[in-house]
Structure 1
Amino acid sequence: MRMTRPRLALLALLCWPVFPGLAQDAPVAMPASPAPAQASLALPASDWTAPALEPFVATYQAFYKGKEAGDATMQVTHVGGNQWRVDMAVRGRKGFASVLGLNLEQSTVFDVREGTYVPLTQSTVKKALFFGKKVTGVYDWNARTAQWDGDLKKERRQPIALEPGDQSALLLNLSLMRDARPGSTLGYRYVDVGRVRRYEYRAADATENVQVGDLSYDALRVFRTNGGDNETILWIANGVPTPVRILQRDKGEDEIDLRLVEYQGV
């Protein structure tokens, strides 16, 4: 059975806020951003407080091209000392995702060193009716290399030279939560599942009112500026440790949309 692109696109939910697998590599002009839900609210940068890294569990409602496809859960756990773990699970419960039995899990164990998130290990598991895939990786900071093993092409199992500040897919999202300020520009090097890419982002100059389900948030919009036709936008709010909404757009059309349902400390 051959999976069509729309079905494959659901797999990209695993990399939720940045969707690295869908983005193009070459830098291009800044994409147009979606209109805010209501009039923009001017919040000075000095009044913005970045969410602190703390244990939590967050649940998202997942949509694909405007139709509900399932749900996603993100969890951050303090392992002990400077070590933490971030996990993301996506479950297909509607439409093709339900029929195919799509279940995806990703996790990264990381250290916090002088305010920087340093990946140590990474794993990805994809399960479906007709296939499964498991990949594990180790960031060896003594040898300054990262390497993955498992269900990957040979060229993606080769060692990758590490640079200070390198991020996994999930850590990249936490770093955006930590670093974004009104009007700021951000750049990161992504090293995950045998690939290296550069990502550039910009935060809006002011917060805006974002409606997510029955709740309204005064949130800061952060969007990738070198994704080509694939736009990635997330909204973060003061006091909320996880994005309240993450949106992937393809050629101006909404594609993958994660909307926060609830979160709680653990």
Structure 2
Amino acid sequence: MKPFLPLLLAALTGAAAPTSALALEPFVANYEVFNGGKALGDATMQVKPEGGGRWRIDLDIRAEHGMMSLAGAAAQQTTVFDVVGDAYRPLSQKMVRKVLFSKRVIDGNYDWNQRSAQWTGDVKEHRRKPIPLQDGDMSGLLINLAVVRDAQPGKTLSYRFVDSGRARPHQYVVQQELEGVKIDDMSFNAMRVNRVQSGSEETSIWVVDGVPTPVRILQREDGQDTYDLRLVEYKGVNEQ
């Protein structure tokens, strides 16, 4: 699975107007996951406070259909972070991927005192080198939260993705017109946010006013749908 699945995996994010980072609240969101247009399984995204001013965002994807289900495929990603001004600042990261009898684990540490991030575990050798940190750097999961917070029709959003031993700029454009989307039996007007990037990959995130998580995340390659997360339900801290 690719790190977008961190945008899910990497990355999973609405608001019609920007909100303050202080408005961050705990929630649990459940998704249906499709691969190539076929049902793959379920995913859960959760944001919760960790104490001491720290927060945690988790994304857990479980294959429940087809060969990947028989192989016991699953992927989890976690980022622990704090909020500095209006920035979601990553502090640590863990990624776990399971297939059959194999298990891969990658750990990341964001040291803001040394302004350096580094990953260990089952990560390629060239991605083990320290990456200098810049103000505003985020993991893929945190970028999804930032897109939800920042999206406005017609706006361009710019972030720096620092995740799994890589650093690269991410730019998104929010479409001017709203699109209709369905969540269970309900319909909403959503902002479609498209990542601007070169090559064959495309990423789109749908954001709905008042919903703290993406209502849909779609990745396409060479014009074909690959991974597609569609929100089924979410609960805020006061509803659990």
CA RMSD, Structure 1 to Structure 2 (Å): 2.0
Offset, 1:225: 1.2
Summarize the alignment of residues 53-68 of structure 1 with structure 2, pairs less than 5 Å apart.
Answer: 53-68=24-39
Structure 1 counterpart SS, 2:45: strand
In structure 2, what is the equivalent of residue 109 of structure 1? Answer: 80
CA distance in 2, matches of 1:227, 1:213: 34
In structure 2, what is the equivalent of residue 255 of structure 1? Answer: 226
Whether the aligned pair in 2 keeps the contact of 1:70 and 1:91 (CA below 8 Å) is yes
Structure 1 counterpart SS, 2:147: helix
Whether the aligned pair in 2 keeps the contact of 1:17 and 1:173 (CA below 8 Å) is no
Q: CA-to-partner distance for each residue in 1:3-47, whole Å, 9 max, x for gaps?
A: xxxxx56x8634318559xxxxxxxxxxxxxxxxxxxxxxxxxx9
In structure 1, what is the equivalent of residue 131 of structure 2? Answer: 160
Amino acid at match of 1:226: Q
- Does 1:196 pair with 2:188? no
Q: What percentage of residue pairs aligned between the two structures are identical?
A: 50
- Does 1:48 pair with 2:40? no
Whether the aligned pair in 2 keeps the contact of 1:14 and 1:90 (CA below 8 Å) is no
Whether the aligned pair in 1 keeps the contact of 2:17 and 2:151 (CA below 8 Å) is no
Going from structure 1 to structure 2, the CA distance change for 1:227 and 1:262 (only over 3 Å counts) comes to farther
- Does 1:235 pair with 2:200? no
In structure 2, what is the equivalent of residue 37 of structure 1? Answer: none
Amino acid at match of 2:8: W
Offset, 1:227: 4.2
Structure 2 counterpart SS, 1:16: helix
Whether the aligned pair in 1 keeps the contact of 2:208 and 2:214 (CA below 8 Å) is yes
Whether the aligned pair in 2 keeps the contact of 1:82 and 1:113 (CA below 8 Å) is no
- Uncovered stretches (5+) of structure 2, i.e. residues with no partner: none
Give the structure with the larger strand fraction.
2
CA distance in 2, matches of 1:137, 1:129: 24
CA distance in 1, matches of 2:207, 2:198: 20
- Does 1:150 pair with 2:121? yes
Offset, 1:213: 3.9
- Uncovered stretches (5+) of structure 1, i.e. residues with no partner: 1-7, 21-46
Which of 7, 13, 18 is the matching residue for 1:15? Answer: 7
- After TM superposition, the runs of 4+ consecutive aligned structure 1 residues lying more than 4 A away are 17-20
Offset, 1:190: 0.8
Offset, 1:61: 0.2
Q: CA-to-partner distance for each residue in 1:200-223, whole Å, 9 max, x for gaps?
A: 110011222112443211111000
Structure 2 counterpart SS, 1:228: coil
Whether the aligned pair in 1 keeps the contact of 2:4 and 2:10 (CA below 8 Å) is no
Offset, 1:65: 1.1
CA distance in 1, matches of 2:7, 2:227: 11
CA distance in 1, matches of 2:198, 2:186: 29
In structure 2, what is the equivalent of residue 39 of structure 1? Answer: none
In structure 1, what is the equivalent of residue 144 of structure 2? Answer: 173
Going from structure 1 to structure 2, the CA distance change for 1:263 and 1:227 (only over 3 Å counts) comes to farther
Amino acid at match of 2:28: V
Which of 219, 224, 243 is the matching residue for 2:190? Answer: 219
Going from structure 1 to structure 2, the CA distance change for 1:169 and 1:243 (only over 3 Å counts) comes to same
Amino acid at match of 1:249: R
Offset, 1:144: 0.7
Offset, 1:229: 1.8
- Which one is further off, 49-58 or 224-233? 49-58
Which of 66, 71, 84 is the matching residue for 1:95? Answer: 66
